[in-house]
Structure 1
Amino acid sequence: MAGSIWMGMTWWMWLWVPRGRPSCSGGKRWEWIFSRSLLRLEFLSHPVPSSRPIVRLAPSLAVSPPAVSVVRRDCERRGQEAACLSAALCFRATSRTPGRWDRRLYLQFAASLDEWTAGARAAFDGAGQRLAPRRLRLTVGNVSCEQLRFHVLDTSDYLRPVALTVTFALDNTTKPGPVLEEGSPTSIRKLVPFSKDCGPDNECVTDLVLRATMDIRGSRKDPFVVQGRRKVLVTATLENRKENAYNTSLSLSFSRNLHLASFTPQRGRSVKVECAAPSPHARLCSVGHPVFQTGAKVTFLLEFEFSCSSLLSQVLVRLTATSNSLESNETLHDNTAQTSAYIQYEPHLLFSSESTMHRYEVYPYGTLPVGPGPEFKTTLRVQNLGCYVVSGLVISAFLPAVAHGGSYFLSLSQVITHNASCAVQNLTEPPGPHAHPEELQHAGRLNGSNTGCQVVRCHLGRLAKGTEASVGLLRLVHNEFFRRAKFKSLTVVSTFELGVEEGSVLRLTDASRWSESLLEVIQTRPVLISLWVLIGSILGGLLLLALLVFCLWKLGFFARKKIPEEEKREEKPEQ
C-alpha cells in the first residue's frame, strides 16, 4: 500500500517526533500515531529532513532607576545635563530536545529608543537613538546579560514614557545551530515612565501664589491724569509654596487702552518663560516648563503703553496661574491677581479764536447811510496736536448782544461749521443789571456780566492726531444803538469755552479751555466851528497871501529878464 500500513499491537510504545518542526536530510518523513492497542504508521510522500535542536528564549529587561526624574540631572552628555539610566538585558535559553548536542549558541540583538518619535530626547551613550547590532553568547540552562546605558536630555514631554525596544534572533552564520521554538518571542519592549518627584504616590499637590502691583493709582473720585506720561508698569510675582507644579502657565489679559511693550522676568532668570499671543490684548506664557519646582519664585516686569486710539476710563491688568498638578480649593484664591486704576486723559489741544474786525468807528447821523453796520466773522478753531484720538468736545460761545431795554448792539447772523454741529440757545441773563446806553461811558466793557448773551453750543466731531474742527460766527453791528449811546470808547468781550461732554475721559487744562475775542468800538463826534473864527481865518489867509506876493515883487520875482538875442535886436535899430 502506498498510503499507510496498519499494525495491531497489544503493548505501549512511546516515540515522539515534533510535528511541524522536521529537519531536512533528504529522506521520507515518518509520523507515528500511538494508541493503547493500535499502532498506525503513516507514510508521507514529501521529504523529511533530519532534526535540529530546538531552544526557547526567555528575555527580560530591567531599567535602573525605574523612572526618569523630571527634575534631577545626575550626569552630563553632549555638554548638557542629563538623566542617566542603565538597562539590564538578560536571556535564559531552555530546550527540550533530548540527546547530546552543543548547548552553546549565539544571539544577535539590536536596540532602539523612541523609534517612532521625531526628535532625540533619549539616546544610548556613545550612540544615537539606535544601537548597532551586538552578539551575545548563551548557554542552555543559564542566564546571560548585557548592560545598555542610555540618557534622557529632554523631559518636557513627561506624559509620554521613553520606549526601549530590543529585537533579537539566533545567530547561525558561522555554523548550523539550534532553531527557536515556535511561539518563542523575538523582541522585548520596556516603557520607562517619568517620575514627578512628589513622594511615593507620585501625585503633586502644589500651592501657586500670584501677586501684582501697578505703579499708578486712581479712583472714581480722584482718577489718575495721563499727561505727558505714556507708560505704566506692572510688577507680578509667581511663587510655588508646595510640591512641584507641572506644566505651569500664566495667563495675562489687559484692557484695550493698553499695549504691552515688554514682558521681562526680573528675579528667577533661571526659570524659562515662553509666551504666545492668542489675541492682541492677551498673552499665554509657560513658566519653567516642564516643572515649576518647589520653592521657586519668579518676578515679571510688564511695561505697557497707553493706546492713542482707544480711550477708556480704567486700565485693567489680570493675571491667572494654573498647572497640571493638584491644588486644594482653599489656596486657589491667590492664583489670580488683578490690578486696575481709574484714569483721565489730558489731550494736547490748541483752542484759538480769530476775528476779521477788531476796531470799529461809529459815525454820527448824516455821515453814513442809515442801516445796520458791517458784518464780521469770528472763527473758533480746535487743533489736536497730541496722539490721542479725542471725541466728545463741546464749544460754548457767549456772544454779548442785548443791552438795557432789549436793545441789540450785536446780533448773530450765521454759523458756519467744519466737523461740528451747532445749535443757538436762549439769551442768557447777566448777574447784574443790563448796561444802559446813557451810561456806557462808565462801563468801558460789554460782556456777559452786564449784557444778555447769545449762546451757541457746538459738538465737535472725532479729532484724530493732526486734525482740527472749526466754527465760524457771523455777526452784525447795530449802528443805531451805538449812535444813541453816550461813550467815547468801549470794548465788546466775547467769551468762548472748550469743554467735554458729561462722563468723558478727557480732562482739559484752564489754558486750553478759554479764549476771548475783543471788538473795540469808538464813537466820533462832529466838531463845531465859530463863524467869526472862520471869517478871521479867511482874512488872515488873504493877508498872508498878499504879504507873500509883495515880498516876491520886491525881490524882483515878477520882473522878466531879456535874453541876449533880444538885446542885440534892440541895439541894431538905434544904430
Structure 2
Amino acid sequence: IEINYTFEAENERRQLGLPSRVRFKDHLSDQFTASTTLRGQNSEECVTTKLVLQEKIKDKLRPIPISVSVTITGVESSSLSARRERALPDLIPILNSNESGTKTTKVEFLKEGCGDDNECHSNLKLQYRFCTREGNEDRFTYLPIENGTPVLVLKDQKDIALEIMVTNNPSDAKNPRKDGEDAYEAKLIATFPDSLTYSAFREMRGYPEKQLTCGANQNGSQAECELGNPFKRNSNVTFYLILSTTKINVDTTDLDINLKLETTSTQVNLTPITASAKVVLELLLSLTGVAKPSQVYFGGNIVGESAMKSEDHIGNLIEYEFRVTNLGRPLKTFGTASLDIQWPKEISNGKWLLYLMKIDSKGLEKVSCQPENEINSLHVAESHNSRRKREVAEKQITDSKTFSLFSERKYKTLDCNVNARCVDIRCPLKGLDSKASIVLRSRLWNSTFLEEYSKMNYLDILVRASISVPAAAKNVKLTNEVAQVRVTVFPAKPVALYTGVPWWIISVAIFAGILMLALLVFLLWKCGFFQRSRYEDSVPRYHAVRIRKEERQIRDGKCKDLETKQWFTKWNENESYS
C-alpha cells in the first residue's frame, strides 16, 4: 500500500500570517510531504525527521504544535496469474473513518522561572512621571505637581520626557509562588496624542540585565518597548521616552498618554493607564526701550498751535525705540502679540506734552498702530531735520532772579500716574520671528514747557510699554516686565541767567586761603625748616702741638740716629655733622 504523509509545524500561526518558530532540518520549511510503502498486513514503517528552532524567536511560552496526516494513494498491482485464480475483484483498502487522519503533538519550552504546572503567573506593575530634559544631556527634572497633576510650563524646550518604571515582583511576600514569575514577551505600548511624537528612549537602570528596546511607527504616534523575553522574576527597569513638543500649539491644554503593559504570561490585572499632565505655554518675550536723545532742552518763544506748520515749529525731536526679542517658540502658533504703549500726550490741564508724528518698525511686516487718529493728529508737515542739539533761548526775557550755587533745585516727573494724560497705543507685532523694533518719532511741545515749567530746573518724562497677546488662551503665560523709558528735559534759561559767583563767597574763599597759608608757614618755622646750618658747627675742630726737632749731634763726622717724636693731638668734635 502506498501512503502519503505530511508533516506540518504551527499550522495556526501560518494561517494568521505569523512566521513559524521552527523548520524541518532536511526540508528548510515548516511543512513537507513524502510517501512510503507498506509491504503487507501488520507491517510497520517508521519515519524520522528533525526540527530546527529559528533564531530570535519571541514566543517562548506557548508550545510548538506538530501535526502528521496520512492518506492512501493506491495499491500495487498483483500478478496476472494470481488475479485469474481469484473470482472476486480487487478491493482498495481505506482508512478507519472513526479515527482522525491527523495526529498532533506539542513541544513544550523549558520554563525555568515558572511554577511546577509549567504556567507563568507574572505581576507586572507600572509607574510613570513627567520630566523635562536639560538641553541635549541625559539629565531629567520632574515636573511640579499642582492639585495632584503635573504641570508642564513650556518655554523653549524642544522635547520632554516620560519616566517609566516597570517591576515584576511577587504581590505577597509571604506567598511568593502566587505570582511574580517570569513574564514572557513583556512589552509596553505607549500611544501619544497628536501634540506629541516619539523621538527616542534612554534606559537608565535595569536589573538584573539591560535588554530594553523601543521602536515607533512611521508617524511617531505609538511606541512599543520590549522589556524582556522573559522579563524575569524580581526584575525592574527604568527608562525615559523622549517626546517632541514641536506640535504643541495654543489649543493644547492637556497631554494624555495611554500606557499599556502586555505579556503572554498569565496576568489578569493588566489594565491600561493614562498618564496626564497640564500644559502652560510661557512666551519668552524680552522688551527694552531707549530714547534718542535722553536729554533735551526747551527755550525760545511761545508759538501757538495754529502756527504749527512743520514739526520743527513744535520743538525738539525725541525718538523712542522699543526692541522686542523672542527667546522662545515662534509666535505664529500662539496668535499675534502686540506692543502696548502708554503715551503721555498732554499734561493735566490739557496742554500738549509729546506730539506723536510717526511710527515705524524694523523686522516686522508693515505696522498699523491703533488708534490712528493719535498719530500726527494736526497733520503738520514732516521734517527731516533732526534738531537734537540744545536750542539756546536767545530772545527769551529773563527775570531778576539770579543763579546761586546753593539755590533749591526744582524738578517734576511727568507720567501717566500723575501730572500727565496718556493714550493707549497698540501696535501688532505681525511677522515677529526673533527680533523686532518699534520706533516712535515725536516732538517735545516747546510752548507748553515755556508756559508751565519755565521755573523748573529739570523735568522727567516717563513712557511705559508692555507686551500682550490678546488672542491667547488661558493656558498661555506671558512673563515680561514693563519697559520704562525716561527723558530728562532742561530749560535753556539757566545758561543765560548766570551772572557769576556772589562777591562774599569770593571774599571768604580768599580770607580762608590766606589764613591757611599763614598757619602753614608758622608750623614750618617752629619746626626749624627755615634755619641754615653754620660751617664751623658742622666741621670737626682739633688742636695740634708741634714738638720742635732736636739738634743733630755729629760726632766724628757721623750723624746719630735721632728718635722720632710723635705728634700730640686733641680732638674736639660736635655731636653731629652735616
Quickly name the TM-score band, shorter chain normalised.
0.5 to 0.7
1:441-473 C-alpha deviation (Å, 9 max, x unpaired):
611543345422313242634655335363646
Q: Superposition pairs for residues 432-511 of structure 1, below 5 Å?
A: 442-448=410-416, 450-458=418-426, 460-461=428-429, 465-466=433-434, 468=436, 470=438, 472=440, 474=442, 477-483=445-451, 485-487=453-455, 490-501=458-469, 503=474, 505-510=476-481
Indicate the residue corresponding to 2:344 in structure 1.
400
- Give the letter for the 2:298 counterpart: E
1:20-55 C-alpha deviation (Å, 9 max, x unpaired):
xxxxxxxxxxxxxxxxxxxxxxxxxxxxxxxxxxx7
Indicate the residue corresponding to 1:208 in structure 2.
124
Partner SS, residue 422 of structure 1: coil
Bigger relative contact order, structure 1 or 2 (CA pairs below 8 A, ≥6 apart): 2
Indicate the residue corresponding to 1:128 in structure 2.
28
| 1:520 maps onto 2:451 in alignment | no
Distance 1:468 1:366, change over 3 A: closer
Per the TM alignment, residue 414 of structure 1 is displaced from its structure 2 partner at its CA by 6.1
1:480-539 C-alpha deviation (Å, 9 max, x unpaired):
4424532365344232232445845334354xx41415253433479699xxxxxxxxxx
Are the aligned partners of 2:212 and 2:226 in contact in 1 as well (CA < 8 Å)?
A: yes
Per the TM alignment, residue 151 of structure 1 is displaced from its structure 2 partner at its CA by 3.7
Are the aligned partners of 1:205 and 1:327 in contact in 2 as well (CA < 8 Å)?
A: yes
Rounded Cα–Cα distance in structure 2 between residues aligned with 1:272 and 1:508:
41
Distance 1:459 1:158, change over 3 A: farther
| 1:373 maps onto 2:314 in alignment | yes
Are the aligned partners of 2:294 and 2:486 in contact in 1 as well (CA < 8 Å)?
A: no
Partner SS, residue 146 of structure 1: coil
Rounded Cα–Cα distance in structure 2 between residues aligned with 1:273 and 1:377:
61
- Give the letter for the 2:126 counterpart: L
- Give the letter for the 1:451 counterpart: N
Are the aligned partners of 1:164 and 1:191 in contact in 2 as well (CA < 8 Å)?
A: yes
TM-score by length of 2: 0.54
Distance 1:419 1:122, change over 3 A: farther
Partner SS, residue 141 of structure 1: coil
Distance 1:252 1:112, change over 3 A: closer
Indicate the residue corresponding to 1:181 in structure 2.
92
Q: Superposition pairs for residues 47-86 of structure 1, below 5 Å?
A: none
Rounded Cα–Cα distance in structure 2 between residues aligned with 1:336 and 1:398:
51
Are the aligned partners of 1:250 and 1:319 in contact in 2 as well (CA < 8 Å)?
A: yes
Rounded Cα–Cα distance in structure 1 between residues aligned with 2:283 and 2:422:
30
Q: Superposition pairs for residues 26-65 of structure 1, below 5 Å?
A: none
Indicate the residue corresponding to 2:353 in structure 1.
409
Distance 1:448 1:113, change over 3 A: closer
Are the aligned partners of 1:233 and 1:301 in contact in 2 as well (CA < 8 Å)?
A: yes
| 1:233 maps onto 2:173 in alignment | no
Rounded Cα–Cα distance in structure 1 between residues aligned with 2:4 and 2:247:
73
Are the aligned partners of 1:234 and 1:302 in contact in 2 as well (CA < 8 Å)?
A: yes
Partner SS, residue 479 of structure 1: helix
Indicate the residue corresponding to 2:261 in structure 1.
321
Rounded Cα–Cα distance in structure 1 between residues aligned with 2:418 and 2:248:
43
Distance 1:134 1:523, change over 3 A: same
More strand by share: 1
Indicate the residue corresponding to 1:21 in structure 2.
none
Distance 1:224 1:425, change over 3 A: farther
Per the TM alignment, residue 211 of structure 1 is displaced from its structure 2 partner at its CA by 0.5
- Give the letter for the 2:326 counterpart: N
| 1:262 maps onto 2:200 in alignment | yes
TM-score by length of 1: 0.54
Alignment partner of 1:217 out of 119, 143, 146: 143
Per the TM alignment, residue 260 of structure 1 is displaced from its structure 2 partner at its CA by 3.5
Root-mean-square deviation (CA), in Å?
A: 5.3
Distance 1:469 1:460, change over 3 A: farther
Per the TM alignment, residue 185 of structure 1 is displaced from its structure 2 partner at its CA by 7.7
Q: Superposition pairs for residues 147-158 of structure 1, below 5 Å?
A: 147-153=48-54, 154=57, 156=59
Rounded Cα–Cα distance in structure 2 between residues aligned with 1:425 and 1:160:
85
Distance 1:113 1:308, change over 3 A: closer
Distance 1:111 1:367, change over 3 A: closer
- Give the letter for the 1:495 counterpart: V
Indicate the residue corresponding to 1:250 in structure 2.
188
- Give the letter for the 1:211 counterpart: Q
- Give the letter for the 1:232 counterpart: I
Distance 1:473 1:505, change over 3 A: farther
1:305-357 C-alpha deviation (Å, 9 max, x unpaired):
543863556666552324576654xx456x52525365453525354445588
Distance 1:318 1:459, change over 3 A: farther
Are the aligned partners of 1:245 and 1:293 in contact in 2 as well (CA < 8 Å)?
A: yes
Are the aligned partners of 2:467 and 2:480 in contact in 1 as well (CA < 8 Å)?
A: no
Are the aligned partners of 1:253 and 1:318 in contact in 2 as well (CA < 8 Å)?
A: yes
Indicate the residue corresponding to 2:273 in structure 1.
336
Alignment partner of 2:370 out of 401, 407, 422: 422
Per the TM alignment, residue 210 of structure 1 is displaced from its structure 2 partner at its CA by 0.8
Partner SS, residue 410 of structure 2: helix
Q: How many residues matched? A: 409
Rounded Cα–Cα distance in structure 1 between residues aligned with 2:373 and 2:454:
30
Rounded Cα–Cα distance in structure 2 between residues aligned with 1:168 and 1:399:
101
Partner SS, residue 506 of structure 1: strand
Partner SS, residue 438 of structure 2: strand
Are the aligned partners of 1:391 and 1:461 in contact in 2 as well (CA < 8 Å)?
A: no
Structure 1 unaligned blocks of 5 or more: 1-54, 56-105, 427-437, 530-575
Per the TM alignment, residue 373 of structure 1 is displaced from its structure 2 partner at its CA by 0.9
Are the aligned partners of 1:113 and 1:122 in contact in 2 as well (CA < 8 Å)?
A: yes
- Give the letter for the 2:343 counterpart: L
Distance 1:218 1:149, change over 3 A: same
- Give the letter for the 2:489 counterpart: E
Rounded Cα–Cα distance in structure 1 between residues aligned with 2:194 and 2:465:
31
